[in-house]
Structure 1
Amino acid sequence: MINKAIILLCWACACGHAETVKFRPGSDKEAAFMVRSGGQLSGGNRRFADVRSSWTYRFNFKRSKGAKIELEIGNQYAVSYSTNDWEYLPLLDAGVTGEETKPQTIETVDVEKLLGGRPGMLYLKFADCVPENGWGGMLSSIKISGTLSDEKPAEPERPTFAGNPIPLPKKTADVVDVFDCGREPKAIQMMLCSLQGIVAQTQPAICLSAHNFWFKELEKSGVKTEVQPSWAALLEKHKGAVKGYILCDSETWNMATTFAGIRQGLVVHEEIESEIKAFGLKKLNDVRGKDLRWFHTFLSTKAKGRFAINGIVNIKDDRLAMRDWAIANKFIYVHSGLQPNILEKFYQLVAVGACRYGWNDPVDDEFGDVNFAGERGLFTIPTDHTQNLTLISALADPKLFRAAPPPVPAVAKIKNKHIVTILVSDGDNLNLMLEGYRDTYFGSSRRGEIPLGWMVPSSSFDLCPTTYKWYCENATDNDVLLGALSGPGYVYPSKMRGVDAYAKLYDFYNRRAGLKYGVIMDLPDSQAEQKEVFSQFLNRNSYQEGLFFIDYSNYAKWKGDAYLIDGKPVVSLRYILWEGQMSPEEIKQKLAASPTDPSSPESYSVIMLHLWSYNPDEIVEAFSDLPENVELVRPDLFLNMIKEAL
């Protein structure tokens, strides 16, 4: 269905005459016009925008008089245009619904009309007018008539963050105030989250959930608590840390959250302004009616140097999640539903190498989400529900904190067996580690009956130290913690801008958390590229002793391929336990017919358990009874054994 596009461009030469230039998407010439890549390509001459995927070209016209663009286009297309890369207006639409598609046709764009006869930039964005069914817009060719310039707008200057961008744990206040805000109106909840964050700029001292498991674990280390009877009592006690309030409405929660960190002002919705005024607090800013372009301009000019450049938070909807964290650390807080052209501009306000906290951008899917940030130099810590992180990340005494994963067992000499290990997916999600992992998966009563590898972000050592310590202390001899996905955060290394700096952070957190083995997910173009990139993460000087590799395009694409980098093993998945793909019984049948020569890499298999398809109890039941020629071992032992076979 999908073919490569041939794009015909009229290229302006110095004397002003138009010259027709042909090129295919993915070529160097297309890259000169592509602002944000996307869509799907394959052999041929077409590019498709299916569901939420899109791509954008930028054309710089020296002259627009008489200029036009002819698009050979079809299917369910939607084309919009912009002259500033902020506001995009509808331009062309296939005008179809349901499964109906429009035959390929020629659509003509009047450039002179759009640019008002003046020179300037014209942006064309191609998308899907019926994203529900995936037929997508289809572009076969473009023909541009006009005088173009090859000059590009200057890219924003961005520093590369040197060192660790993740804030280190702070010491809690001697007494932590507890107030459960769950039943309060949304406006009060938002205001209290901002109070929590402002106070935590100095010292974490507020918990907004009386039933938080990790806070109760923190109490065991000697943190004293005091329950506050009302939100008003809590505010009265801590209003000395507040300089005033930021007035907002339901459209500007996020803008106010960013201002709250910069100015130490409460986030106050217009509905409760009179109540907050009664505490003697003054209005610092009124962001009602302000749009994102104003917000971005303010941050890049008047607020420059006042917000942190080592992180940014973007969360879906108007949730409470991560607001205290953003305010405490003076991070920009934006909605994850922003269009890519706008989200990109906010990403460019922070440093290359910064951490992006959040999930669910409007960019295709999981890969598009993570890769969009990675291409702009940010690694992702997936979390879109986490609250109270300012307190969860704190410790009664950070200097005394210690947490060590279980020791690695000695290499066993197992003969005439096919060696297998199982990895549990999705541990990169911080919120899952705080809740779902502990409750449902790591909390299984049958955990420990068989060896399993549990993925955790190595940055959890600092983001939720009490949590990380709990996992270490509650691990059985059959449980192994693995740094994933891609270490302190989630990123595809071969696609990431500034990957060399990230590789250093990867090693820093492996050492800090004591994780000698890890999991990296990537989408390399070739095995040669994979090895070149991984050599930055695993080498003779790195702390880690081995890696498991997952290819995003097909988790088991490399079918157990294994090799050494500086004497350390990298092993890809051979099987996936994923509903609708292979069942435990089908995998066991394949294992029963597998080789058992310990000197051959073919005698070793890595299985990944998809967390949302099977629970640990089902896997324990299935893999407690294995064929006689199969031995299930811990992931760390597995890597040490296959190392001797490579």
Structure 2
Amino acid sequence: MSSGISRRTFTTSVLAASAAAAAAMPATAGAAAAQTAPVPTGTLLPRGTALRSLDVIPSANLTSNPDRVLVASLQGLVAKTSAEGIFIDEGGPGAVWKNFLHTTYGITLNNAYPTWQQLLTRFRRLVRGYIRYDMTANPASVNVASSLGGPLNALIVDATQESSVQALGVTRLLLDVSDKDEHWAYSTYQSLFADHIAAELNPTVYYHLRDYITLTDSFTFYDGVTKWRAGVLGTLQPQATLMGYGNDETAMIQQASEEGVVSIPTDLAPNLSVLSGIHSTDGLTQQPEPAPTTAAKHYVTFVISDGDNVAWNLWGLHEYFTNPVRGSFNVGYGISPSLVDLAPGPLRWYYENASAGPVWDNFIAGPSGRGYTYPSEMPADALQAQAVTLNAYMGRGNLRICEILDDQPVFKRSDLWEPYLRQPNIDALFYFGPGAKGGIRWVNGKPVIAQRNVLWGGQTEEPELIDDINKRPADPTSADGYTLVLVHCWTKSLTDVQTVVKGLGPQVEVVTPRTLVRLVNDNHAV
């Protein structure tokens, strides 16, 4: 990875780096940006200002897409400096997180500003001016405006909203990007953007993630898997993070990994600017399980997929987790260690509401660490650094096992696993990459356990999986005595897992990931 330009104090001369930039932007914009203090940083990722209260606006009250963009922009600007944040309440799990912040952390909830006009009137003192874009004529201009809104402390305003915003007292036009694209924004204002974090976001995503983009001054683009994208990622600093999501999973993760950049799927994650405003890590502790006793059994553990996806963690996982059959069998869930910074409140909620005897819910780190990467594609020094940072996240999030997903059949590549298993907070790796057919490898005295089966609609259905597992040996000293099953969260539910569990014979025992690792260690299975 090449070293990028460090983010500098913003001055008028920096903003006027070219004649075109000088003509496009008033000098006052540079002065406004210079007055913005840096946001606090957690383990690695930026966080919103420590939170004391939330002004709640129902998402249903945002009736147009430009309104959604505007409120997310305002939300991110407010989170830069104010302990009074804005929360977009979508209902469902979002309402659960809002209420949990109130009951557990003492965050005051205020419903007195239910429209964007009222919110803007309340917080316009924190806005230096506005950037105009045109969603209809030029969808890419939404991302251009999002990129620049944070550095310039500017509200981003669609052309259709301009007169309404001016009527509320925000009258200073800092920049018009209505006819601009992301390439222009990057070539003209690269020095304004954060050098450790960027975002990949479809312009048709309106309020999800855009608040965190504004908070973090993240350059935002949606270019496909192109040479230009590789150049943008390559100029970020070591251990950089790419938020959001692109349009080709394997290719985009491969390219980011080659540049040493970790991707965190967050394109549909709302309210990160305020969820990250909880700075305490108190309560991020899973309930301990009793030490297992080895028996002549075949041991099975189920792990729910997509733990790397913070948007899934904040929405789909909660709905999955509330299935009424939960608590009738042991199960493991992948979850993102980056929630320690991005949303410690929801992470704590999962831990406090997990089943804790006689059956257990167990959380492990999603692939392939603090975010989605392919370890085989990462430069060796980047992989080493990521493992060290992951160790810090694992310690603070009480996560002892990490999932690995790769685009190559690398189960036998001990050199890739050594950086992970050198870390004191990582007890084991679960390998879900190509060529995973069961098996256990030992690296630094710790196991790498390969997936043996999936429960995945269209690939392996319940009857086939039941039959496969029941035929396996009850031999805890052998790798063949263990089955690790990846459950595809998008095509299978906990009810489907329960069907498999009920079909297993008496020689099979379903355990949590944590217990599986203990049994493998106790028996040094090979």
Q: Normalization by structure 1: what TM-score?
A: 0.70
Determine the structure 1 residue equivalent to 2:67: 188
Contact 1:169 1:462 in 2 (8 A): no
Q: Does 1:487 align with 2:364?
A: no
Determine the structure 2 residue equivalent to 1:515: 399
Residue 624 of structure 1 deviates from its aligned partner by 2.4
1:225-280 alpha-carbon deviations (Å, 9 max, x no partner): 22214322211110000100111112211111111100101101111212222214
Please give the residue correspondences for 1:77-156 in structure 2 after superposition, counting only pairs within 5 Å: none
Determine the structure 2 residue equivalent to 1:637: 515
The verdict on how the C-alpha distance between 1:160 and 1:421 changes in structure 2, with shifts beyond 3 A counting, is: farther
Residue of 236, 261, 266 corresponding to 2:150 = 261
Residue of 463, 467, 472 corresponding to 1:594 = 472
2-structure distance, mates of 1:163, 1:239: 28
Contact 2:243 2:266 in 1 (8 A): yes
1:503-525 alpha-carbon deviations (Å, 9 max, x no partner): 11111110110111121112345
Matched position secondary structure for 2:322: coil
Instruction: From the CA coordinates, give the structure whose radius of gyration is larger.
Output: 1
1:551-602 alpha-carbon deviations (Å, 9 max, x no partner): 1x3xxx2321102112211100111112233222222222222222222221
Contact 1:419 1:632 in 2 (8 A): yes
The verdict on how the C-alpha distance between 1:232 and 1:613 changes in structure 2, with shifts beyond 3 A counting, is: closer
Determine the structure 2 residue equivalent to 1:409: 290
Q: Does 1:237 align with 2:237?
A: no
Contact 1:254 1:333 in 2 (8 A): yes
2-structure distance, mates of 1:291, 1:429: 28
> How much is the aligned-residue C-alpha RMSD, in angstroms?
2.2
The verdict on how the C-alpha distance between 1:291 and 1:156 changes in structure 2, with shifts beyond 3 A counting, is: farther
Residue 210 of structure 1 deviates from its aligned partner by 6.5
Q: Does 1:538 align with 2:421?
A: yes
Consecutive unaligned residues of structure 2, counting only runs of 5 or more, are: 8-40
Corresponding letter in the other structure for 2:177: V
Corresponding letter in the other structure for 1:505: T
Determine the structure 1 residue equivalent to 2:316: 436
Determine the structure 1 residue equivalent to 2:33: none
1:14-68 alpha-carbon deviations (Å, 9 max, x no partner): xxxxxxxxxxxxxxxxxxxxxxxxxxxxxxxxxxxxxxxxxxxxxxxxxxxxxxx
Corresponding letter in the other structure for 2:4: R
Contact 1:450 1:624 in 2 (8 A): no
Q: Does 1:311 align with 2:200?
A: no
The verdict on how the C-alpha distance between 1:442 and 1:525 changes in structure 2, with shifts beyond 3 A counting, is: closer
Contact 2:299 2:516 in 1 (8 A): yes
Matched position secondary structure for 1:313: strand
Q: Does 1:614 align with 2:463?
A: no
2-structure distance, mates of 1:197, 1:421: 41
Matched position secondary structure for 1:414: coil
Determine the structure 2 residue equivalent to 1:356: 242
Determine the structure 2 residue equivalent to 1:391: 274
Matched position secondary structure for 2:269: coil
- Greater helix proportion: 2
- Greater strand proportion: 1
Matched position secondary structure for 2:203: coil
Determine the structure 2 residue equivalent to 1:375: 258
Runs of 4+ in structure 1 off by over 4 angstroms are 159-164, 524-528
1-structure distance, mates of 2:110, 2:157: 25
Residue 413 of structure 1 deviates from its aligned partner by 1.9
Q: Does 1:158 align with 2:45?
A: no
Contact 1:519 1:547 in 2 (8 A): yes
2-structure distance, mates of 1:238, 1:264: 12
Matched position secondary structure for 2:293: coil
Contact 1:507 1:542 in 2 (8 A): yes
Residue 176 of structure 1 deviates from its aligned partner by 2.1
Corresponding letter in the other structure for 1:515: L
1-structure distance, mates of 2:59, 2:321: 28
Residue 603 of structure 1 deviates from its aligned partner by 1.2
Determine the structure 2 residue equivalent to 1:129: none
Determine the structure 1 residue equivalent to 2:131: 246
The verdict on how the C-alpha distance between 1:229 and 1:645 changes in structure 2, with shifts beyond 3 A counting, is: closer
Contact 2:3 2:236 in 1 (8 A): no
Residue 328 of structure 1 deviates from its aligned partner by 0.7
Matched position secondary structure for 1:296: helix
Contact 2:225 2:255 in 1 (8 A): no
Determine the structure 2 residue equivalent to 1:500: 384
Please give the residue correspondences for 1:320-335 in structure 2 after superposition, counting only pairs within 5 Å: 320=206, 321-335=208-222
Determine the structure 1 residue equivalent to 2:24: none
Determine the structure 1 residue equivalent to 2:354: 475
Matched position secondary structure for 1:624: helix
Residue 308 of structure 1 deviates from its aligned partner by 1.4
The verdict on how the C-alpha distance between 1:558 and 1:224 changes in structure 2, with shifts beyond 3 A counting, is: closer
Contact 2:130 2:170 in 1 (8 A): no
Corresponding letter in the other structure for 1:269: D
Identity between Structure 1 and Structure 2 (%): 27
Q: Does 1:273 align with 2:159?
A: no
Determine the structure 2 residue equivalent to 1:139: none
Residue 617 of structure 1 deviates from its aligned partner by 1.0
Determine the structure 2 residue equivalent to 1:119: none
2-structure distance, mates of 1:188, 1:585: 49
Corresponding letter in the other structure for 2:151: I
The verdict on how the C-alpha distance between 1:186 and 1:494 changes in structure 2, with shifts beyond 3 A counting, is: same
Alignment size in residue pairs: 473
Matched position secondary structure for 1:403: coil
